[in-house]
Structure formats: structure tokens, C-alpha cells
């Protein structure tokens, strides 16, 4: 049974050693991310909870902007289907608002990313402004009425972690995936989901580019956990 409270300890070596026989997997789950390090490693850790040869989970980092991420997802889906000779069951794209409202061109590209994803039946897990908001929600509540620029999210993440014993001198460096181990040790996935749900509800009908702070990463995580639970079911 998948767990929704404390996260499992991050053990990257185990993930790398698991044999890959894609054709034998029952369900293909593709996640294409903006970040090339932290986000793919975060989602890869869920492999520890997946029964062998049930869900083939493939997180991909791109280093691209939202429109480029969705376009890359189209390519990754085609490649995975060709390799497995199966239809990819789920495709999620993960990206941030960041400075996508910088000018009309970036706003248009952000909106086009949503349009293409909808056309391709891709699910979107965006964060406004940054994925680190999702990590922060593992540790503390966030005021829905106070916009959080990404620099403030980074600062809050560092400040909050420093309140925990053993992390008094912690310094957060953007892009350093070692933050994940700390989140696994002191954070709560269940609390993060509940907090993200409340944030999204309080943002009401605001468009994603305006809904600061908010994230939909919890919807992706919940979806993945439900599939893990489904394939973990043993009537005996």
C-alpha cells in the first residue's frame, strides 16, 4: 500500500540497479519536467514504492521553458511508445510560472503550453512561482493572500529548514537536489497535499499565471500514489 505521510528515504542506487524490461510493464507513466535535476529525482523516488514490473515510471528533465517542455513531452511519449510497443497511459508535464509573465511573448508561450497539453491529453502540474513551493509545503503553511516570488520561496525554504534540529546552518542552493533528502527526513507528504489543496481552493478561478502562490504538483503525486496503490493490491 502506498504511503501518503512520511516520504520514503531517498535511495538513488537502488533505483539505478532495478532491471528495465519495458515491454513487461502493465502501465506506462511519463513525467516531463522543467528542471533537469531536482524534479526528476523527486519523482524517481516513487519507484521505491512500485511493485516490480507494474508501473514503468519515467521522469525526464529538460531545462526548457513551458512550451518547450510540452513539445519535448510529445517526443518522449512517441519514443517510449516505440520502445515499449504500447500506448503510454499517463503523461504529465511539470513546469513553473517563474518569469513567464515578463512580457507578452512569454505570456503567450505560457498559454500556448497549456493549449498544446490539452490537445495532447497531457496533465499539467504547474507551480506559481516555483516547484520549491511544493517542497516548502512539506514543512509549513503558506499564506494564499501573499504573493511569493521564487526568491522568497527559496529564502523561506532555507529559513524553515533551519528551525529543525540538526539544520541550523543549512543553506539552500537552487538546483541542488540534496534538498530532497532533507524533505524526506523532516517533511510530511500528507501535509503538503492538504496544504496545496487549500492553496488552490483559495486561489479560486484565477488563471495559473496569476494564482500566486499555488501548485498542482499534489494532483500529480496523488494520481501516481493511487496507481501505485492499485497495483499494490493483493486480495490474499
Report the distance separating Cα 5 and Cα 137, nearest Å: 13
Q: Which residues pair with 91 in a beta bridge?
A: 30
Query: What angle do helix axes 217-232 and 189-202 make, rounded to 10 degrees?
Result: 130
Q: Return the pLDDT at 4.
A: 40
Q: Return the pLDDT at 3.
A: 38
C-alpha cell at 26: 502493465
Per-residue pLDDT of the chain (236 residues; tens, 9 = 90+): 333 444 555 454 444 455 578 989 999 999 999 999 999 999 999 999 999 999 999 999 999 999 999 999 999 999 999 999 999 999 999 999 999 998 999 999 999 999 999 999 999 999 999 999 999 999 999 999 999 999 999 999 999 999 999 999 999 999 999 999 999 999 999 999 999 999 999 999 999 999 999 999 999 999 999 999 999 987 76
The continuous run of DSSP H or E covering 29 comes out as strand 27-33
pTM value is 0.91
In 10 A of CB 28, how many CB atoms? 21
Peptide bond into 208 cis (omega under 30): no
510530511: which residue's cell? 188
In 10 A of CB 84, how many CB atoms? 16
C-alpha cell at 48: 521505491
Spell out the residues 6+ positions from residue 205 whose beta carbon is closer than 8 angstroms to its own: none
Report the distance separating Cα 21 and Cα 74, nearest Å: 22
In 10 A of CB 166, how many CB atoms? 10
- Do 196 and 134 touch, CB atoms closer than 8 A? yes
Report the distance separating Cα 87 and Cα 173, nearest Å: 38
Report the distance separating Cα 176 and Cα 171, nearest Å: 11
Q: Return the pLDDT at 130.
A: 97
C-alpha cell at 56: 514503468
Amino acid at each position: 500500500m502506498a504511503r501518503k505521510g512520511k516520504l520514503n528515504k531517498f535511495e538513488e542506487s537502488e533505483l539505478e540497479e532495478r532491471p528495465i524490461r519495458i515491454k513487461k510493464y502493465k502501465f506506462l507513466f511519463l513525467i516531463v519536467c522543467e528542471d533537469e535535476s531536482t524534479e526528476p529525482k523527486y519523482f524517481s523516488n516513487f519507484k521505491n514504492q512500485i511493485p516490480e514490473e507494474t508501473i514503468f515510471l519515467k521522469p525526464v528533465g529538460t531545462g526548457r521553458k513551458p512550451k518547450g517542455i510540452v513539445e519535448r513531452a510529445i517526443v518522449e511519449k512517441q519514443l517510449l511508445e516505440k520502445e515499449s510497443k504500447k500506448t503510454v497511459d499517463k503523461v504529465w508535464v511539470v513546469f513553473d510560472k517563474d518569469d513567464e509573465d515578463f512580457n507578452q511573448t512569454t505570456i503567450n508561450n505560457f498559454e500556448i503550453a497549456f493549449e498544446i497539453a490539452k490537445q495532447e491529453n497531457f496533465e499539467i502540474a504547474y507551480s506559481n512561482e516555483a516547484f520549491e513551493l511544493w517542497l516548502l509545503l512539506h514543512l509549513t503553511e503558506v499564506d494564499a493572500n501573499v504573493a511569493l516570488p521564487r526568491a522568497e520561496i527559496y529564502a523561506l525554504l532555507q529559513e524553515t529548514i533551519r528551525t529543525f534540529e540538526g539544520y541550523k546552518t543549512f543553506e539552500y542552493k537552487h538546483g541542488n537536489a540534496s534538498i530532497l533528502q532533507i524533505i524526506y527526513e523532516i517533511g510530511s507528504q500528507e501535509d503538503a497535499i492538504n496544504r496545496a489543496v487549500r492553496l488552490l481552493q483559495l486561489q479560486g478561478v484565477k488563471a495559473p499565471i496569476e494564482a500566486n502562490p499555488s501548485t498542482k504538483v499534489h494532483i500529480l503525486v496523488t494520481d501516481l500514489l493511487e496507481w501505485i496503490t492499485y497495483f499494490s493490491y493483493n486480495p490474499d
